[in-house]
Amino acid sequence: MASITPPKYVRQVLTTLQARGHLACLVGGCVRDMIMGVHPHDWDVSTSALPEEVMEIFPHTLPVGLRHGTVTVMIQSRKVEVTTFRSESAYSDHRHPDAVQFVGDLTADLSRRDFTMNAIAIPPDGLIVDPFGGVQDIQNKIIRCVGEPERRFEEDALRMFRALRFSARLGFAIEEHSMAAISRCAPLAGDLSPERVRDEVEALLLTTRPERMDELIELGLLDSYLLQRLPPYSTLFRLNGVPRKSLFRWAMLGELLEEQGCIRASEDFLLRLRLDSRTIRCCSDCAAILRQAAPTQAVEWKQLLNRYGVETVTCAARCRDALLGGNSFGKLRSVLKSGECFSMKHLAVTGDDLLALGLQGRALGDMLQFLLNYVMTFPQNNRKELLLSLARDTEES
């Protein structure tokens, strides 16, 4: 195994639990990462101690996931999630266990986990507990269900999304039986809440292989959100043409799905997936910008910036380059770098200045807009005296 060791505060959580007579070990993503030689972004501890006991042992805890047996331990101003060993009973709705039972047994806890690579534990003595051959699967870059794949996907249909997401993120192949089970169980994805689907789709979009979305769609996992699946030569590979930022990837996904007749409009699709209103707004504005011809002059960029804001226009420029080639983003960047005015905020005169000239109400608003349009065309003239005199002359004429 690569020489990644848990930081001191994590070791302290493990040894404290152990000293109080409980079993405690690292589990899940952090173990997988350590075996792969990657620094984990967070550390999860599993223990035989009950949540109340964990709260009693550590002075600073947050009972955030108590229902699932998870207590957040605050230690040296860091957080460690400590979860009591548990097993899960039937999943009658394909997404939530009917009951969660705390168990004293590590193997039972590992066997409820989704994939062999996520079902490995490392106790404080460092001797790996790997009842399902997860280490070997990591070495062979394979994603394999713990237990019988079909049953595991029937229990929780989200695991199908997780398989594809991990496969895209890690570059691992999904083992044959697990893959066949996804094809068969895909209709169960329709029972999942849109929020859970959204989070998984976003996580996949933010990997370095977002084009794997096409597999997710081809397998039927998004059928309840689409009019139809992808045509034979899908263009989803273009997702990789925009930087790894959630807004850019959602906007691009919406564009590509719409272009290929899978959705009617990006806005409806994102609304149904319960994206936040700001993202939906930015994506639909981005789609509106892309329907127009690409700006050729700086002033046209400034008009867009004024109307839609920097983030949306940047998103549209990135999408346009990824869809059609060209260097829209480069042109936009030089407009932004020039520091030239494109918003009222940076106009050299304010509403108060115009009030002092005797303007008010609608006339004042119109004049500000007129001056802004003027300055967007003649940026060197964004000077107070000059603009006030222009306002006076315009009023008089």
Q: Quick check: 149 binds ligand ATP (CB under 6 A)?
A: no
Q: Which member of 14, 26, 82, 158 binds ligand ATP (CB under 6 A)?
A: 158
Which residues from 3-32 bind Mg ion, rule CB under 5 A? 29
Which residue in the shown chain puts its C-beta closest to Mg ion? 29
Please say whether the beta carbons of 358 and 287 come within 8 A.
Answer: no
Q: Which member of 6, 28, 97, 134 binds ligand ATP (CB under 6 A)?
A: 28
The minimum distance between CB 29 and ligand ATP, in angstroms, equals 2
Start-to-end Cα distance in the chain: 81
Pick the closer one to ligand ATP by CB: 44 or 353: 44
Q: Residues touching Mg ion: how many (CB under 5 A)? A: 1
Which residues from 28-87 bind Mg ion, rule CB under 5 A? 29
d(CA 274, CA 344): 33
Only one of the segments 52-60, 110-118, 131-139, 228-236 lies at the binding site for ligand ATP (rule: CB under 6 A); that segment is 110-118
Q: Quick check: 113 binds ligand ATP (CB under 6 A)?
A: yes
The minimum distance between CB 28 and ligand ATP, in angstroms, equals 3
Q: Which of 147, 155, 230, 233 is nearest to 188 (CA)?
A: 155
Q: Which member of 116, 118, 207, 328 binds ligand ATP (CB under 6 A)?
A: 118
d(CA 39, CA 31): 10
Q: Residues touching ligand ATP: how many (CB under 6 A)? A: 10
Q: Quick check: 131 binds Mg ion (CB under 5 A)?
A: no
Contacts of 348 (CB under 8 A, 6+ apart): 341, 375, 382, 383, 384, 387
The minimum distance between CB 255 and ligand ATP, in angstroms, equals 27
Only one of the segments 112-120, 186-194, 250-258, 361-369 lies at the binding site for ligand ATP (rule: CB under 6 A); that segment is 112-120
Q: Which of 204, 207, 205, 112 is nearest to 152 (CA)?
A: 112
Q: Which does 194 bind (CB under 5 to 8 A by kind): Mg ion, ligand ATP, none?
A: none
The minimum distance between CB 240 and ligand ATP, in angstroms, equals 20
Residue 168's Cβ-count burial label (10 Å; 0-12, 13-18, 19+) is: buried
The minimum distance between CB 46 and Mg ion, in angstroms, equals 13
The minimum distance between CB 269 and ligand ATP, in angstroms, equals 24
Q: Quick check: 130 binds ligand ATP (CB under 6 A)?
A: no
Which residues from 36-55 bind ligand ATP, rule CB under 6 A? 44
Q: Quick check: 114 binds ligand ATP (CB under 6 A)?
A: yes
Q: Which member of 11, 12, 20, 29 binds ligand ATP (CB under 6 A)?
A: 29
Give residues in contact with ligand ATP (CB under 6 A): 28-29, 44, 113-114, 118-119, 156, 158-159
Give residues in contact with Mg ion (CB under 5 A): 29
